[in-house]
């Protein structure tokens, strides 16, 4: 029987102002951003991209927990930016489902509760399994080999690294979603993955072993061009995530 573990749903302690400013500054430092479509070379676009990277990283790394308010003027000062590029970045993050705009025009980090998380996993069990079946035999061998090596390297990583775990998870699932050949399905799955990613689970390290085994099964089935096995492997992965969350909470 799986030993039940404590499940944390409360927000993490907020850092003191000095530490918070440092965190904002580190997150907003220039870095590679392959998915950043706002980089056009112009100063306003670069500032907006900088704000987007900083906020996105802090939300995904849970430095800003679900329900955390973002006061525009204060955030602009902390990032050393004007409010215009910050507003553009917040609007972009709202469109991606990471921020929620309140009636007073302020933003909060979207908070995903257990019920929404579990329901999203049930949808992914069906839809992402179909995406895996469609992707079977359509992903370049080099891309599959690269992500497979990343999964294997993560298994032996010491000490455990949460960011590496999340990045590897993104690479595996994005590879499948990108190759499914159905843009509508891909958009729905990306939205669902945003929902499940925002769910704050305190025992992510305990998922390293199961995630690695399940990801390898998906990768191998897709590499073999076996739609049936790819569908079954992805569905099993979603069920495993569902069962894990229920066991940890229960």
pLDDT above 70 (res 12): no
Write out pLDDT tens, residues 102-156.
Answer: 877 789 999 999 999 999 999 999 999 999 999 999 999 999 999 999 999 999 9
Q: Which residues 6+ apart lie within 8 Å of 151 measured at CB?
A: 168, 172, 212, 215, 216, 219
Largest CA-CA distance found in the chain, in angstroms, rounded? 58
Residue 187: which H helix or E strand, with range?
helix 183-198
Find residue 70's DSSP bridge partners.
107
Q: Enumerate the domain spans of the chain.
A: 17-109, 114-249
Fold (topology level) of 17-109: Arc Repressor Mutant, subunit A (1.10.10)
pTM of the model: 0.74
The pLDDT, as a whole number, for residue 215 is: 98
Domain 114-249 listed as CATH 1.20.120.530: yes
Write out pLDDT tens, residues 25-84.
Answer: 444 444 333 343 333 445 667 889 999 998 988 887 778 888 989 888 888 888 888 888
């Amino acid at each position: 029987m799986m030993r039940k573990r404590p499940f944390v749903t409360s927000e993490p302690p907020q850092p003191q102002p000095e530490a918070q400013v440092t965190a904002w500054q580190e997150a907003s430092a220039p870095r590679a951003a392959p998915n950043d479509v706002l980089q056009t070379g112009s100063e306003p676009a670069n500032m907006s991209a900088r704000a987007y990277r900083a906020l996105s990283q802090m939300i995904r790394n849970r430095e800003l927990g679900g329900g955390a308010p973002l006061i525009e003027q204060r955030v602009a000062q902390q990032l050393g930016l004007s409010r215009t590029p910050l507003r553009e970045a917040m609007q972009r993050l709202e469109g991606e489902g990471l921020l929620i705009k309140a009636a007073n025009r302020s933003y909060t980090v979207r908070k995903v509760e257990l019920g929404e998380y579990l329901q999203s996993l049930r949808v992914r069990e069906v839809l992402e399994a179909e995406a895996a079946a469609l992707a079977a035999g359509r992903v370049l061998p080099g891309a599959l080999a690269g992500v497979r090596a990343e999964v294997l390297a993560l298994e032996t990583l010491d000490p455990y690294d949460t960011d590496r775990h999340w990045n590897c998870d993104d690479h595996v699932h994005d590879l499948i979603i990108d190759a499914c050949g159905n843009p509508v399905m891909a958009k729905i799955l990306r939205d669902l993955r945003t929902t499940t990613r925002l769910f704050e689970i305190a025992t992510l390290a305990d998922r390293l072993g199961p995630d690695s085994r399940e990801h390898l099964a998906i990768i191998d089935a897709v590499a073999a061009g076996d739609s049936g096995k790819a569908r079954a492997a992805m569905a099993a992965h979603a069920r495993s995530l569902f069962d894990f969350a229920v066991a940890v909470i229960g």
